[in-house]
Chains A and B, each alone.
Chain A
Amino acid sequence: MDQPASLAIDCLSHGFGTKPVLHDVQLRILRGQIVALVGPSGCGKSTLLRAIVGTHLPRQGTVTVFSGNSHLTGHVVEGPGRDRGIVYQHYSLFPFLTAVENVAFGLMLDQTNISYRLFKFPRWLKRRAEHLKQAREFLDRVGLGSAASLYPSEMSGGMCQRVAVAQALIMKPALLLLDEPFGALDEAMREELQRMLLGLYQENLAARRKGELEPHTMFIVTHELNEALYVGDRVVGLSQYWDWRQAGHAQPPGATVVYDCSAPIFEPDDTRDFSCFAGQREEIRDVVFNPDSAYPREKHLRYWQELEQQREAEPAP
């Protein structure tokens, strides 16, 4: 079965004042993928994510999100909405809610409104109990069942990020965006959370085998190449270092997608052997992070070709 698209970015450009940041970004993400976005610091990764969330719309171009329960329909992003979840590096939780309340917050905001909660209070209480129960199940899934009644200030950074992932997942978003979610965590914590994301990817594969719609699509910004290759099934590189002179620009026009390839797929219990993608890591360093490199921007966009080959190699069902 062909995977449907979850996100389409077309001709997206953005800048601040006279300073260009993003230039003509094109990107298509399929349902069920974990796409890792890498790029030099300040190249505009967060800016791109903000455009997808819809809090800061781009100057040019469109972002289209495809959402729905069984049948996906696309709509152009004009502001933040409940079909795109976000996990930030900082301020990822509401400090005035406990872990379980944080997770249930989305259910409350999405399914009820203020007048319902005030004027149909008894009914709301019943509903609330269901929400909390569901939130507890999600907390269990990220391994934090015992921390349900803790406030964010009482939890470690890693616990907070896990709660934040559960908080976003409970909404069943068409697309989950993560902006350096584990950037402030130590190595051990990072590993655990990466495994958690790989576990979610396994749920996708299971759904695909059953011919169902994959539940999780993720777009994750990271500054760690190993993390990108380990967690993602596809790595996208955004960079301002490309051959823009050849493309006819007098001034640097900003960052664009210069790298797009599939990445090795790991299972949560696999040994973390990073040597197997050492070659790809070096390639990304050279193409995306090296200020002196000036490759044509299409040169390393191999993903769709690779997908084609992969599909041909697969035995037809």
Chain B
Amino acid sequence: MIGEPIARVWHVTLGIGAVLLLLIAYTILSMRQHRENPDDKTIPSWSQLSEGVKKSVEVNQRSNERWVVADAQATSLRLFWGVFWGVSGSLLIGMLMGCFAFVEAFLYPPLAFLAKIPPIALLAVFFVLAGTGETMYVTMIAFGVLPTLAQTVYLAVKEVPAELRYKAYTLGASHLEIIWNVLLRHVLPKLIDAIRLQIGPAMVYLIAAEMVVGDVGFGYRIRLQFKLLNMSVVYPYIVVLGAFGFGIDYALRKLQAFVSPWYAKGY
């Protein structure tokens, strides 16, 4: 029947089955390709792939470092600091907008407008303003996620029923405590939800920028190896990227359950 739940065993079996199916399909595809052209590099065989993986994890002769480690480090640091500043800025702006009508009237129009511009389109502006160094990646991500996150915070603050604020005042709260102990507690899980959704776009900006101007990072490596038609490196990198995104999402979900256990219980 529609909407009927299934047993846990089925969940696991079906999940593993899907992955297996994908692997089998890939194997068949690659075998057929190699029967026609033994030197093919577009759909590498498993042995070619393992060569590619080896190349990415071994210490490279020329650069003296492991590609995947260097790239993961560069990309995740850029992402972290970008999101960090974006979140900090949006918390500040969103809170101020939610609490003070003056700030709201002042910042709402530009924010609503900025939120609608795809940051990719602003890439050129960032290159000009922030150069092509590490600052550029961080600023770009920060400004890319800020409008949406600030709007989320602002709307979440507005959503808090006035009664709760009044009540907190009757319990002896100061203005600062209203913000810290009432509004922020309310906003936090919604902000984390919004961050989870914004990690995707942030990765898009970052990978795109790395492809254009990077000298290290996932985007840079994928583009370079693709130009050399080393798909045996590109595919594993894409898998790593997927796992990377999945890991961040998982961590954020855990963080949310930790800081706002009430939220998951559906209030």
Task: Identify A88's interface contact among B167, B172, B186, CB under 8 A.
Answer: B167
Most chain A CB within 10 A, of B167, B176, B262, is at B167
Residues of A79-118 contacting chain B, CB below 8 A: 79-82, 84-86, 88, 90-92, 94-98, 105-106, 108-110, 113-114
CB within 8 Å of A: which of B32-82? Answer: none
Please, what's the 1-or-0 string for A142-153, where 1 marks a CB less than 8 Å from any CB in chain B? 000000000111
A82-B170 CB under 8 A given contacts A95-B267, A96-B262: yes
Decide: B170 and A151 in contact? CB cutoff 8 A: no
Assess whether A171 is interfacial by the CB under 8 Å rule.
yes
Looking at the assembled complex, report how far the CB atom of B241 sits from the nearest CB atom of chain A, in whole angstroms. 35
Interface residue ranges, A against B (CB under 8 Å): 53, 55, 79-82, 84-86, 88, 90-92, 94-98, 105-106, 108-110, 113-114, 151-154, 167-168, 171, 173
B101 within 8 A of A: no
Interface of B is mostly: helix
Q: Let me know if B180 and A82 touch, CB within 8 A.
A: no
B163 touches A88 (CB 8 A): yes
Are B174 and A113 in contact, CB atoms less than 8 angstroms apart?
A: yes
Q: Is the interface of A mostly helix, strand, loop or mixed?
A: loop
Please report the total number of B residues contacting A with Cβ < 8 Å: 27
B260→A96 contact, CB < 8 A: yes
B172-A106 in contact (CB<8A): yes
Taking the closest CB of chain B, its distance from the CB of A150, in whole angstroms, is 9
Quote the shortest CB–CB distance from A117 to chain B (angstroms): 9
**Complex CA–CA separation, A167 to B173 (angstroms):** 14
A84–B180 Cα gap in the complex (Å)?
22
Given known A-B contacts A151-B265, A153-B262, A109 and B172 have beta carbons under 8 A apart? yes
Contact between B267 and A151 (Cβ–Cβ < 8 Å)? yes
- Does B266 have its Cβ within 8 Å of any Cβ on chain A? yes
Contacts known (A53-B170, A82-B172, A109-B177); A91 close to B267, Cβ less than 8 A: no
Question: In the assembled complex, which residues on chain B have CB atoms less than 8 Å from the CB atom of A108?
Answer: 181
Q: Does B169 have its Cβ within 8 Å of any Cβ on chain A?
A: yes
The contact of B262 among A88, A113, A114, A151, by CB within 8 Å, is: A151
B161 at the interface (CB under 8 A from A): yes
Cα separation A213 to B182 with both chains bound (whole Å): 33
- Across the interface, which residues of A come within 8 angstroms of B180, CB to CB? 114
Q: Of residues A82, A91, A92, A109, which shows the largest number of chain B Cβ atoms within 10 Å of its Cβ?
A: A109
In the complex, the chain B residue whose C-beta lies closest to that of A152 is B267
By beta carbon, the residue of chain A nearest B181 is A109
From B163, which residue of chain A is reached at the shortest CB distance?
A: A91
Q: In the complex, which of the residues A90, A105, A113 contacts B171, with contact meaning CB atoms closer than 8 Å?
A: A105
By a CB distance below 8 angstroms, the chain A residues around B173 are 109
Q: Does the CB pair B177–A91 fall under 8 Å?
A: no
